[in-house]
Chains A and B, each alone.
Chain A
Amino acid sequence: AQSVTQLGSHVSVSEGALVLLRCNYSSSVPPYLFWYVQYPNQGLQLLLKYTTGATLVKGINGFEAEFKKSETSFHLTKPSAHMSDAAEYFCAVSEGRDDKIIFGKGTRLHILP
C-alpha cells in the first residue's frame, strides 16, 4: 500500500527566503504525486501534480516540485516566500487514476516578516 511521509510538521522561513517542504513516498507502482495547500478555515486546493513525463513540475503561486524516483521524494520548493504563503501543505500519493489518494500529515508553513 502507498504511503506518504512529510518531514517537519512546522517549517518557518523568512519572507523572501527559499521555501523547501519535504515529502517522501512509498508506492509499489509508479505513483501519481500531488501537493495541496489549505488556507485557514478552507478546503484543500491543488498546487501541482506529477503523473508521467517531466520530473520537474510547476504549479500555481510560483511553487514547483521535483519527482526523484531514486530518492522516492517529491519535495516542494518556492524561490522566494511571501506572507500569503502561510498555510498548511499536504503531499499526497495515489497508485492509479482510479485509486484512492493518501495524504501526508501536513506541514504548517510559517512566514516570518
Chain B
Amino acid sequence: DTAVSQTPKYLVTQMGNDKSIKCEQNLGHDTMYWYKQDSKKFLKIMFSYNNKELIINETVPNRFSPKSPDKAHLNLHINSLELGDSAVYFCASSHLQGGGANVLTFGAGSRLTVL
C-alpha cells in the first residue's frame, strides 16, 4: 500500500496544453508539498499546504495552480504548458504538528515531457 502515490507516472503532451498531476497520501500527515526536479537533478520546492491551507508558495509562474481538496490530497494543475516545464514533479508529505524535524515522505514522481 503506497504511502504517497502520484498519477500519472509519465505524461507527454504538447506545448500550450493544460494538464494535471494528482497526489494522495495515506500516512495521516497534515502537510503536503510539490517539488520540481529538473534534468540536472536539482530539486526545488514549489508549494506546500498544511491542513488544506497554502503555506509555501515559491516563485512559480501562475500557470501552476495547486489544489488541496482535503489533507490527504494535493493536486497540481498546469496551464499553457511550456517546454521549460519538462521535469519530474515530486509530491511529498510530512507531519508538522508531530514535533521534531520535518521529515518528508516522497512519492515516486511524475515525469512530464512537453513537446
Given contacts A88-B41, A100-B45, A100-B48, A34 and B101 within 8 Å (CB-CB): yes
Assess whether A98 is interfacial by the CB under 8 Å rule: yes
Assess whether B84 is interfacial by the CB under 8 Å rule: no
In angstroms, how far is the closest chain B Cβ from the Cβ of A57? Answer: 11
B104 and A46 within 8 A (CB): yes
- A residues 66-90 with Cβ under 8 Å of B? 88, 90
- A residues 56-113 with Cβ under 8 Å of B? 88, 90, 94, 97-103, 105-106, 108
Assess whether B66 is interfacial by the CB under 8 Å rule: no
Given contacts A100-B56, A105-B40, A42 and B109 within 8 Å (CB-CB): yes
Interface residues on B, range: 20 to 34
Pick from A34, A43, A98: contact of B103, CB below 8 A. Answer: A34
B43 and A99 within 8 A (CB): no
- Considering the chains assembled together, what is the distance between the CA atoms of A38 and B4 in angstroms? 15
- Considering the chains assembled together, what is the distance between the CA atoms of A108 and B102 in angstroms? 24
Assess whether A44 is interfacial by the CB under 8 Å rule: yes
Assess whether B61 is interfacial by the CB under 8 Å rule: no
B101 and A42 within 8 A (CB): no
**Which residues of the partner chain A approach B103 to less than 8 Å between Cβ atoms?**
34, 46, 49
A43 and B101 within 8 A (CB): no
- Considering the chains assembled together, what is the distance between the CA atoms of A43 and B88 in angstroms? 10
In angstroms, how far is the closest chain B Cβ from the Cβ of A87? Answer: 11
A94 and B101 within 8 A (CB): yes
- Considering the chains assembled together, what is the distance between the CA atoms of A94 and B33 in angstroms? 15
Could you list some 12 contacts between A and B, CB below 8 A?
Answer: A32-B101, A38-B41, A43-B90, A46-B104, A49-B101, A49-B103, A94-B102, A97-B99, A101-B102, A105-B41, A105-B42, A106-B43
Binding site for A on B (CB under 8 A): 4, 40-45, 48, 56, 90, 92, 96, 99-109
Q: Which 7 A-B pairs have the closest CB atoms?
A: A43-B106, A32-B101, A103-B43, A106-B41, A44-B106, A51-B101, A43-B108
